[in-house]
Amino acid sequence: MDSLSQIVLGGAVAAAIAPSGQRRAALLAGAALGTVPDLDGLLIAAFTRDPVSLMTVHRSFSHSLFVLPLLGTLLWWLYRRFGHGRVAAAPVRWWWAIVLALVTHPLLDAFTVYGTQLWWPLMPHPTMWSSVFIIDPLYTVWLALGCVVAWFARARPLAQRALLAGLVLSCGYLGWSLLAKHKVEREADRALAALGLGDAPRFSVPMPFNTLLWQVVAMTPQGYVTGERSLWADRGPMRFDGHPSNVQALRQAAELPAVARLQWFNRGFMRAQVRDGELVLSDLRMGMEPDYNFNFAVARERGGGWEAIAPRQLRPIYREQGGRALLEQRLKRVWERIWREPGQREEG
């Protein structure tokens, strides 16, 4: 999730657990701890400029449920031994406050589609429950309000009630997102089965800033299909559009290190294209057809096969000159699509 969501989540969790007389200190400590796991990007960048590594190592060791409790315990011990007495005065509460402020960060990240390596150093596919967009104001606002009230209310009971209300409402929103995802996937299963794609690998993901409009992507022998579902507007069967991918080139290059790494990271949800003799792989989980956020040139044609090159990340179209207008147009379309099914007449 975005940094603001992680800051207010860490602050709310720590302040709800720590003693009421230390609430402001807990808000600040929790906010800082909520950002710690994402500092891995700075560490990774110090060792490599490989964009595939930068993408796939992010959210690994620093987001591990094996690592963070140990890190939290170490920080707790250091604060208890060398701090100003707050942790020593309430050691059990502060242990829970510190550890949960850290651990809730990767758990929240796992609700997005990017993928979070919760079980590092084990190597299952990264966890991606993909039920919320990376920025969702309806998740964040309740936590932010709770933290603001708690900051000014300090030790008064109102502060604890505001924090608990924020945590309950934000968790409730995550619960709704999982229910919404289930509804969408049920409709997608029916539509894909009718197309003969009942066993096709697929995923669903909410469109930007909401949990009412969703995209479903399923892989096919020739490429992939995409479909949309608005829980507000759509009533009939889901409709899917087909898109090509150079599956032969992807299969030929499958053993190259960057290709294999991406296949593991995104579970094979990739589009393969040949551009100017180079194999370009696009992560289908993030972006909107035909423009995706993460695109990597990973190989060059040579002698009827593929030769590995130093991976190079290509900018998506909306980040090029004039791309802001395109991005605004797409976000406007998302907003309109939430409320109206394609072909549905606008009332009035």
Kindly report, residue by residue over 71-123, the tens digit of the pLDDT: 999 999 999 998 778 999 999 999 999 999 999 999 999 999 999 999 999 99
> Is residue 321 very low, low, confident or very high in pLDDT (cuts 50, 70, 90)?
low
Per-residue pLDDT tens digits for 152-191: 999 999 999 999 999 999 999 999 999 999 999 999 999 9
> Which positions ≥6 away from 331 have C-beta within 8 Å?
208, 209
Q: Tell me if residue 133 falls in helix, strand or coil.
A: coil
Q: Which residues of 21-45 are buried (b: 16+ CB within 10 A; e: fewer)?
A: ebbbbbbebbbebbebbbebeeebe
| Residue 20 pLDDT greater than 60, yes or no | yes
| pTM for the predicted model, two decimal places | 0.94
Averaged pLDDT for residues 253-259: 97
Helix axes 68-82, 91-109, angle to 10 degrees: 150
Give me the torsion for CA of 121, 124, 126, 129, rounded to 10°. -130
Give me the torsion for CA of 143, 148, 154, 157, rounded to 10°. -50
Give me the torsion for CA of 112, 37, 149, 87, rounded to 10°. 140
> Is residue 347 very low, low, confident or very high in pLDDT (cuts 50, 70, 90)?
very low
| Residue 222 pLDDT greater than 90, yes or no | yes
Beta bridge partners of 116: 127
Burial class from Cβ neighbours inside 10 Å (0-12, 13-18, 19+) for residue 84 reads: exposed
State which amino acid sits at residue 289: E
| Nearest Cα to Cα of residue 24 among 147, 141, 144 | 147
Averaged pLDDT for residues 39-51: 94
Lowest pLDDT segment from 33-47, 76-90, 218-232, 287-301: 76-90
DSSP 3-state percent helix, strand, coil across the chain (nearest 5): 50, 20, 30
pLDDT value at position 348?
A: 39
Residue that the structure tokens 């007389």 belong to = 21
**Could you tell me the residue ranges of all domains in the chain?**
3-129, 195-319
How many residues are listed for the chain in this entry?
348
Asked if residue 191 lies in contact with residue 160, where contact means CB atoms within 8 angstroms, the answer is: no
Extract the tokens encoding 36: 């710690």
Mean pLDDT over the full length of the chain? 95
